[in-house]
Structures are given as structure tokens and as C-alpha cells.
């Protein structure tokens, strides 16, 4: 394959498209990790769940509630799916995770691993593993834009823009607002924050809910691009874990920037040496671990 400018730019653009998914997902993991100190293994499954809420809302919700003509459209799904999945997350946190805080954090990882298997298994039984198409892409986002070096689908451009907005919005709230300062303080010293009259358990629950809602949001964004399938999350989550390790766990900006960068690196690798594209992120992880064990943006503990 020739290394033309056009080819490199196209692949890097597609890489960025992938990168925003890494960014949103690793951001969600970072938010959760920051306060709860658990690695949410179910993140991929909840991302998949988000896509299914959108898909089923479009195809099956109408007939189910006796209104065959009702379809939950794409824009509504962008709001509804995160809310639904966020609620699921809150239930998970309240009924299960909260029982484990007094034990080793590893139990949180194991619990969410089990949950991931359950969610994925259930969907595998009811839906086609090869994926179902989500045909609710709005007209306005159809077609492609000429970027000069390539024709780029409008929808993918929209995904990049909205994801960046959501990522940086989240960063702003956590790093620059009062609400965020409670969160950060809660991470450092929950007892002290409690003393100031903040309801810490509630804060933890809502944080978990928000983290998984982000995953669901990414799932809805992904639905029109990829087929919606029960395994879409499990394929993604391991890569996202590597992204998180590289960025340094718990760092908000770190997770966003690393996600975007690694997406582009992956895209670039596809031009240079395609077979390595699925491994390159893990190789970078090894290098980072050798040089900076705490990750690029992490602090040594």
C-alpha cells in the first residue's frame, strides 16, 4: 500500500471516528473508577445495552405498547437510552456493588465481569450475533461530505463532533464546577466530604449511573454505523481497558486525550502495516508501562 497523503488522512480520520468511542468509554470508566475505585467490567455490555434500547425502541416498542406506528426516533433514543441504562446502573450499584465496598476492590471487578457475562448471554439468546441493522439514522445525517481528501459520511462527522462535546462537557463539570469539586473531594477523602453534609452514598450511586449512561450514549451513536449485536461491547472493552491503562486510571482529561490519540494511531497503523492494527494499542501499553508505570496522565501512588 502506498503511503499517499490522502490514504493516511482518510485512515486517521476513521481512526478518530473510532477514537471518540474509546474516549467516551474510557471516560466513563475513569469517572467510575475515580469515585468507586472499581473497574467496571460491565461497561462494554452496557454500551451494547444502550444500542439495543435504541434498536428496540425503534422496532419493537410501538407494537409492544399497542401502538404499531410508534417508533422511538434517533434523537429521542440519544436521551432515552442513557436514562434507561443509567437507571439499570443505579440498580446495580444499589443492590450489588454497594455491598462490596468494604472488601477488596477486586471483588468489584469480578462482580461486574459476571454481570457482563449475564447481559451479553441474555442478548445472545434473543438476538442475532451477526447483528441487526438500526435503520433510524435521521435523513439530515445521511450522505457524505467531501473533505477534500475523501468522502466522509455526514453521520460519522456528527458522531465525532457530539462525542467531543460530551467528553469535554463532562471534563468541564468535574474539573471546573462546584459539583465537580465535591466529586473530586469525595475521591480524596469521603469522610471529610460527609462531614460537610454531602450525601456521599447518593453521590456514588449517581456517579456510577452517569458513567454507564455515557457508555449507553456511545452505544446509540454506534448503532447506525455498526450492526447492533450482542458482542459489540465485549470486542471493544478489552481495547478500552488498555486505553485506560495507558492514560492512567482515574484521570479525566487523560482518558479523553488517550482515547482520541490511540484511535488515530490505530488508523495510521492500518495504512502502514494493517495486521498490527489490532495489537498496536497493546504494544503501546507495554512501552508505557516500562517507562511510566502509572500511565501517561496518572500519578504515582
Partner 1 sequence: MKKLCSKVALSVAVVALTSGMAGAAAKGVSDNVVKIGVLTDMSGVYSTLGGKGTQVGVEMAVKDFGGKVLGKPIQVIGADHQNKADIASAKAREWFDNEKVDMITGLLNSGCALAVQKLGGEKKKITMNTGAASTALTNDACTPYGIHYVYDTYALGKVTAEAVVPAGGKSWYFLTADYAFGHSLEANTAKFVTKLGGKILGSVRHPLSTADFSSYLLQAQASGAQIIGLANAGGDTTNAIKQAREFGIDKKGQKLVGLLIFDTDIKSLGLNVAQGMQFTSGFYWDRDKGTRDFAKRFYAIHKAMPTMDQAGAYSATMNYLKAIKAAGTDDPDAVMAKLKSMDISDFFAVNGKIRADGRMVHDMYLMEVKKPSESKGEWDLLKIVKTVPAADAFMPLSESTCSLVKK
Partner 2 sequence: MNKILWKILVILGLAAPFIVYPVFMMKLLCFALFASAFNLLLGYAGLLSFGHAAFFGGASYVTGYLVKNSGLTPELGILGGTLFAALLGYLVGSLAIRRQGIYFAMVTLALAQIVYFIALKAPFTGGEDGLQGIPRGRLFGMLDLGQIYSIGGSPVALNLYYFIFALFCLGFWIIYRTINSPFGQVLKAIRENEPRAVSLGYKVERFKLMAFVISAALAGMAGSMKSLVFQLASLTDVSWHTSGEVVLMTLLGGVGTVLGPLVGAFTVVTLQSELSSVGSWITVIIGVTFVVCVLLFRRGFVGELGRLLKKSL
Residues that bind partner 2 (CB under 8 A): 37-39, 96, 99-100, 103-107, 109-111, 113-122, 124-125, 238, 241-242, 244-245, 249, 275, 278-279, 282-283, 285-286, 289-290, 293
The sign one gets for the Cα dihedral 199, 217, 99, 94 is positive
| Nearest distance in Å: CB 130, partner 1 | 3
State yes or no: residue 4 binds partner 1 (CB under 8 A).
Answer: yes
* CA proximity to 204, closest of 42, 41, 25, 32: 32
Of 278, 279, 287, 293, the residue at the interface with partner 1 (CB under 8 A) is: 278
State yes or no: residue 267 binds partner 1 (CB under 8 A).
Answer: yes
Question: Collapsing DSSP states into helix, strand and coil, what is residue 37?
Answer: coil
- Among positions 79-138, residues that touch partner 1 (CB under 8 A) are 124-125, 128-131, 133
**Residue placing its CB nearer to partner 2 in the complex, 113 or 182:** 113
φ/ψ (deg, to 5) at 213: -65, -40
Of 10, 112, 120, 258, the residue at the interface with partner 1 (CB under 8 A) is: 10
Residue 103 binding partner per list partner 2, partner 1, none, with a CB distance cut-off of 5 to 8 Å that depends on partner kind: partner 2
**Residue placing its CB nearer to partner 2 in the complex, 136 or 232:** 232
The sign one gets for the Cα dihedral 68, 70, 73, 78 is negative
* CA proximity to 29, closest of 198, 246, 231: 246
Report how far residue 93's alpha carbon sits from residue 209's, in angstroms, rounded to the nearest whole number: 8
Residue 226 binding partner per list partner 2, partner 1, none, with a CB distance cut-off of 5 to 8 Å that depends on partner kind: partner 1
State yes or no: residue 227 binds partner 1 (CB under 8 A).
Answer: yes
Cβ contact 211:183 at 8 Å: no
Residue 11 binding partner per list partner 1, partner 2, none, with a CB distance cut-off of 5 to 8 Å that depends on partner kind: partner 1
Any idea what DSSP says for residue 133? -
**Residue placing its CB nearer to partner 1 in the complex, 88 or 222:** 222
State yes or no: residue 163 binds partner 1 (CB under 8 A).
Answer: no
Residue 229 binding partner per list partner 2, partner 1, none, with a CB distance cut-off of 5 to 8 Å that depends on partner kind: partner 1
φ/ψ (deg, to 5) at 128: -70, 125
* CA proximity to 23, closest of 189, 257, 194, 237: 257
| Nearest distance in Å: CB 234, partner 1 | 11
φ/ψ (deg, to 5) at 252: -65, -55
* CA proximity to 138, closest of 181, 75, 189: 75
Question: Collapsing DSSP states into helix, strand and coil, what is residue 78?
Answer: helix
Tell me the window of 144-152, 174-182, 186-194, 247-255 that interacts with partner 1 (CB under 8 A): 144-152
Give me the half-sphere count of Cα atoms (radius 13 Å) on the Cβ side of residue 255: 28
| Nearest distance in Å: CB 125, partner 1 | 7
Rule CB under 8 A: which residues touch partner 1?
Answer: 1-2, 4, 6-7, 10-11, 14, 17-18, 124-125, 128-131, 133, 144, 150-151, 153, 155, 225-227, 229, 231-232, 235, 267, 270, 274-275, 278
Amino acid at each position: 500500500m502506498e503511503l499517499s497523503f490522502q490514504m493516511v488522512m482518510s485512515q486517521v480520520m476513521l481512526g478518530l471516528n473510532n477514537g471518540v468511542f474509546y474516549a467516551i468509554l474510557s471516560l466513563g470508566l475513569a469517572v467510575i473508577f475515580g469515585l468507586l475505585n472499581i473497574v467496571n467490567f460491565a461497561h462494554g455490555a452496557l454500551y451494547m445495552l444502550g444500542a439495543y434500547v435504541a434498536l428496540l425502541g425503534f422496532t419493537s416498542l410501538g407494537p409492544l405498547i399497542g401502538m404499531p406506528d410508534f417508533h422511538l426516533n434517533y434523537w429521542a433514543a440519544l436521551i432515552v437510552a442513557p436514562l434507561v441504562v443509567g437507571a439499570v446502573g443505579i440498580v446495580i450499584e444499589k443492590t450489588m456493588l454497594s455491598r462490596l465496598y468494604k472488601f477488596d476492590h477486586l471483588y468489584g471487578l469480578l462482580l461486574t465481569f459476571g454481570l457482563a457475562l449475564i447481559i451479553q448471554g441474555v442478548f445472545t439468546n434473543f438476538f442475532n450475533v451477526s447483528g441487526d441493522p438500526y435503520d433510524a439514522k435521521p435523513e439530515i445525517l445521511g450522505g457524505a461530505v467531501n473533505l477534500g481528501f475523501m468522502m466522509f459520511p455526514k453521520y460519522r462527522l456528527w458522531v465525532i463532533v457530539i462525542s467531543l462535546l460530551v467528553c469535554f462537557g463532562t471534563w468541564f463539570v468535574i474539573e471546573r464546577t462546584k459539583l465537580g469539586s465535591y466529586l473530586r473531594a469525595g475521591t480524596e477523602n469521603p469522610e471529610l466530604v460527609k462531614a460537610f453534609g454531602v450525601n456521599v452514598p447518593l453521590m456514588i450511586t449517581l456517579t456510577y449511573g452517569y458513567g454507564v449512561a455515557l457508555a449507553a450514549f456511545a452505544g446509540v451513536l454506534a448503532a447506525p454505523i455498526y450492526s447492533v449485536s450482542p458482542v459489540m461491547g465485549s470486542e471493544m472493552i478489552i481495547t478500552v481497558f488498555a486505553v485506560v491503562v495507558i492514560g492512567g486510571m482515574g484521570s479525566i482529561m487523560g482518558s479523553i486525550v488517550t482515547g482520541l490519540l490511540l484511535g488515530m494511531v490505530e488508523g495510521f497503523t492500518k495504512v502502514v502495516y494493517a495486521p498490527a492494527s489490532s495489537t498496536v494499542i497493546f504494544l503501546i501499553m507495554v512501552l508505557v508501562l516500562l517507562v511510566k508505570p502509572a500511565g501517561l496522565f496518572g500519578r504515582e501512588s
